[in-house]
A and B are shown apart, each in its own frame.
Chain A
């Protein structure tokens, strides 16, 4: 319904224009430019695209035969699965547990959220020290508990022998608290009468979770999975700080794109287009998956 006081629309563009001009100049226009660039030849970063590539889609052919790009795609795939299962999974578990306790839930909320506000660069640096070969936190700890032999100075080279694990762990860990808060908010929105009725009918705690909480959380979980997917495609700062230039084969689509940005500009544009396409396709798939059987949603 239209409010009668908002009939005079002559001046609304004065309010709309600044924000949308900004977005046209800095988002929509460059976005389209970037797609065009991926078909053109660009000599240096900062110069305009010259003639079209021959064939015009040659950058995309190159992508298919680029082993580093394949590594990046594979690793990003691993990252996707790990973030969905790890982040959302752990977050769901924590949210279910916290929703079952009385005292301290505010404390856990505050503490679990801490890593999200800290810059990924600082965390990357910190985790470099945690996984340091020469007596980082983990290796020192393993020596103290006797898993590694201290006398022989036995150490584990995390960043080259277990590179993917070492990269994934901090990324997953950082955002668990984010999904935790979303899911906890979802759980607190479920009316308590449902649980009371179920308990009277003799349902156990586990049954309440299985038949009330999880189905009613479907939307929130779907939101989390979409965010985890788009987040996993965007991740840059932390992997870049820990594994500069894709060392130990840890390329991700984002870090690989950056590494090409100065040496092969139009190729980097093509990688960026792939990142966008992946994001749109994957979030649509997730959306479908979580909407399809939504019949028991309120």
Chain B
């Protein structure tokens, strides 16, 4: 059904492009204004920051007043650890849940689905109490504070990850595992040498999802990262917002700093990311 240019197509494209503008323009607008001083933002926030109007003041201020790099580092440590732990713990459990039949299997898979339904609100208070008892909340060591965010975030991603990976392992032919068995491979060897490598596409999906979810999660960070040196990027942004109330330039430049790395990664890996963020949802 090939159709030539028609009014109908024109309207469709117009509408689609309009929505695309709503998703792109606010970001472009933010980047644009981050290079302008307050007066310029105030007089015309739609103008381009070229020539006289161009200024790096906002960025100088932000970098002078806030430890952006420490926040980036903390975020990378937290989200990287969460992603790796989720990948390993979830793929091991998913492998067993998919290939073996055992007594508690029904109960465990019920628990997995229930785990996806628990909102963070319903667990955070007891989790804080438990972690406070262990001494990893408000600890003088940055590492322990980061750990207090990492652990609940791992748990929060596991049920989703196991369900997605289990679905993927189910599509893998069992023949390879059978021949590995005949060659004398143990369960561990079969998992590490055969199943895990074959799961790569799904593992990338799960890893990216967990990383992004953790990177963007303000709620958990608000509970466990209470002092400057422990701040990760999202909580730092939240604090900049409350301190710099009317300093619009600072707000624009900090939003830009937080958004750009994610955007770059997204544009490189968007296929995996889109799949990762939707596949689990559809299956579940």
Asked if A59 is an interface residue, CB under 8 A from chain B, the answer is no
Taking a contact as CB atoms under 8 Å apart, the answer to whether A182 and B255 are in contact is no
User: Which B80-114 residues sit within 8 Å CB-CB of chain A?
Assistant: 89-90, 92-93, 95-97, 99-102, 108, 111, 114
Interface residues of B in 15-48 (CB under 8 A from A): 15-16, 19-20, 22-24, 26-27, 29-30, 33, 41-42, 44-46
Measured CB to CB, the nearest residue on chain B to A100 is B12
CA of A48 to CA of B222 in the docked complex: distance in angstroms?
A: 21
Q: Tell me, in angstroms, the Cα distance from A257 to B222 when the chains sit together.
A: 14
For B121, give its contact among A112, A115, A254 (CB under 8 Å).
A254
Q: Give Cα A199 to B30, complex, Å.
A: 47
Q: A16-B96, A46-B128, A110-B270 are in contact. Are A23 and B218 (CB under 8 A)?
A: no
Residues 124-166 of A at the B interface (beta carbon under 8 Å)? 124-130, 132, 134-137, 140-141, 144
Q: How far is the CA of A103 from the CA of B212 in the complex (A)?
A: 30
Given contacts A119-B234, A182-B282, contact A31 B218 (CB under 8 A): no
Q: Smallest CB-CB separation from A173: which chain B residue?
A: B22
Q: How many residues of B contact A (CB 8 A)?
A: 97
Residues of B within 8 A of A298 (CB): none
* Stretch of B56-64, B65-73, B153-161, B197-205 lying at the A interface: B153-161
Beyond A20-B108, A241-B238, whether A117 also contacts B132 by CB under 8 A is no
- Tell me the total A-B contact number using a CB cutoff of 8 A: 273
- Write out, one digit per residue, whether chain B residues 111-128 have a CB within 8 A of any chain A CB (1) or not (0): 100110111111111111
Say yes or no for A58: interface residue by CB 8 A criterion. no
- Residues in B neighbouring A271, C-beta threshold 8 A: 121
User: Do A48 and B129 touch across chains, with their CB atoms under 8 A apart?
Assistant: yes
B241 CB-CB contact with A under 8 Å: yes
A37 and B125 form a contact (CB under 8 A):
yes
Contact call A117/B262, Cβ cutoff below 8 A: yes
User: Which residues on A sit within 8 Å (CB–CB) of B129?
Assistant: 45-48
Q: Which B residues are in CB contact (< 8 Å) with A268? A: 125
> Assuming the A-B contacts A15-B95, A18-B92, A121-B216, are A272 and B121 also in contact, with contact meaning beta carbons closer than 8 angstroms in the complex?
yes
Contact across chains for B278 and A3 when beta carbons are under 8 A apart:
no
Question: Nearest Cβ in chain B — how far from A175, in angstroms?
Answer: 10
Whether a CB of chain B sits under 8 angstroms from the CB of A246 is no
- A177 & B137 in contact (Cβ 8 Å cutoff): no
**Chain B binder among A69-77, A81-89, A274-282, A286-294:** A274-282
Mark the stretch among A60-68, A210-218, A228-236 that contacts chain B. Answer: A228-236
Known: A12-B100, A261-B125. A119 touches B218 (CB 8 A): yes
* In-complex Cβ contact of A111 among B20, B212, B241, B248 (8 A): B20
Residues of B within 8 A of A283 (CB): 117
* Closest chain A residue to B152, Cβ basis: A26
A126 to B23, CA, bound (A): 12
Q: A272 to B125, alpha carbons, bound, how many Å? A: 10
B263 within 8 A of A: yes
Report yes or no: A34 in contact with B237, Cβ–Cβ below 8 A: no
Contact A12 B96 (CB under 8 A): yes
CA distance A30 to B237 in the complex (A): 29
Question: Are the CB atoms of B277 and A178 closer together than 8 Å?
Answer: yes
A113 and B122 contacting across the interface, CB-CB below 8 Å: no
Closest-CB distance, B221 to chain A (whole angstroms): 9
* Chain B residues within 8 Å of A144, by CB: 46
B212 near A34 with CB under 8 A, answer: no
Say yes or no: B23 contacts A115, CB within 8 Å. Answer: yes
Say whether A250 faces chain B, with CB atoms less than 8 Å apart.
no
Cα distance A51–B271 in the bound complex, in angstroms: 53
A273 at the interface (CB under 8 A from B): yes
Given A18-B92, A19-B162, A23-B115, answer yes or no on A269-B219 (Cβ-Cβ < 8 Å). Answer: no
Are B137 and A46 neighbours in the complex by a CB distance under 8 Å? yes
Q: Rank and list the top 6 A-B pairs by shortest CB-CB distance, nearest first.
A: A26-B155, A30-B126, A119-B216, A33-B126, A19-B93, A5-B181
Given contacts A101-B12, A101-B16, 10 further A-B contacts (CB under 8 A): A16-B93, A22-B151, A28-B115, A30-B122, A30-B123, A33-B126, A37-B125, A94-B19, A129-B33, A279-B117
A/B interface sample: 27 pairs, CB < 8 A: A3-B99, A5-B174, A15-B191, A19-B93, A31-B123, A45-B129, A46-B129, A97-B12, A111-B20, A112-B19, A117-B266, A119-B237, A120-B218, A122-B259, A125-B254, A125-B255, A173-B23, A230-B117, A234-B121, A237-B216, A258-B219, A261-B124, A261-B125, A265-B125, A275-B121, A275-B122, A283-B117
